[in-house]
Structure 1
Amino acid sequence: MLTVFLFYIANLLFCLAYMVRDMAWLRTITILAAISTLPYFYFQASPLYSAMGWQIAFIAINAFNLTVLILHRRPVKLNDQEKWLHSTTLRLLKPRKMLRLLKQAKTHEVAAGEPLVHQGQELNALLLLLSGKASVQMEGQARATLLPGDFVGEMSFISGKVASADVVAEEAACYLEWTAPTLERLYARDSEIKDALQGAIGMDMADKLAR
């Protein structure tokens, strides 16, 4: 009978679903398998409505999660600044996760000569220069120049020690700021962001040393 044939097909599909690694395919095949069981349960001498109800519930749950998964896999649209950040400083982050990180940042603007960081300051935030230039100064002497895409005060932020130098804008500048509590909350929800951002900070330090 066709219903029995469909039931066997359903079980083969369930086996196939457990063999695939991609979650979207697993859920898609599971939905097809569950649908294939419905005729078999319905056309029994006494329809198995309870079994059909459970299969329909499984179909609904998998369909919902499949929809969420597909929405999360949609291509992410980035503006010019976001594309630049993703191709430079934040290249270790996936676009969607980078947008999640950027959403938590506060944007600040400073005029030429204004400080971003004071020597001796306890820096409980991570800064990222978006535009303009900044000078790292100790005892009034410029020791290094920070460019767009550079993190600012990352050593103090990571070590928990006070800033060892002033960072002063050489020209009008714009930068992003993530406070420590903000990043900790983000890390707790997504460890991948934490690993990628720490990797980005490490590469930024290496780039500065190379310069």
Structure 2
Amino acid sequence: MAVSRVFALAAVALTLLSPPASSNTEGDALYALRRSLTDPENVLKSWDPTLVNPCTWFHITCNQENRVTRMDLGNSNLSGHLVPDLAKLEHLQYLELYKNRIEGTIPPELGNLKNLISLDLYNNNISGTIPRTFGKLKSLVFLRINDNKLSGSIPRELTRVSSLKVVDVSNNDLCGTIPTVGPFERIPMNNFENNPRLEGPELLGLASYDTNC
């Protein structure tokens, strides 16, 4: 009887001490990003996957429930590529990776970050198209993906993101026409400049939907 009671108490203690599964999932997602990046200045040195959760890692901010809400890695001399695992950061609000040397495409899975407020990927070497899944980012206010190598058209799904205040896609290789409805009514034209194949504001109902233009 005494032995059984000891085992029961030990099981309860282990349950209480075990980290939430979400914390491990978020840590795994961030560590997947670390593995995909080259980090010559060791800014990710503190990203230790053996810790309970990533809230003690540098450049990461968490809320009171130890859920990751912010990643600040702008101007960190990082290269490599983004990973779909970032979509597991369900509470992420700010994804700041500007002014690095990141290549490859934007994972469409990032469209699942329903709490994302700011996506700053400007001044990198990112190619491919702007994911249509960004139309699901209903909390998004700032979308800055200028100064990259993006191609294709501006997804019309973005016109349904009413929270958008800032969209900057300048200095890419986008094509098609510039949306003029929804949040795009108030975006200045210089936020679309230096896209040689991007045409002027579209006439209502004459949008270019071809991602290959």
Range class of TM-score, shorter chain: under 0.3
Q: TM-score, structure 2 length as denominator?
A: 0.25
Larger radius of gyration: 1
Q: Where is the helix percentage greater, Structure 1 or Structure 2? A: 1
TM-score normalised by structure 1 residue count: 0.25
Query: Which of structures 1 and 2 has the larger relative contact order (alpha carbons within 8 angstroms, sep 6+)?
Result: 1
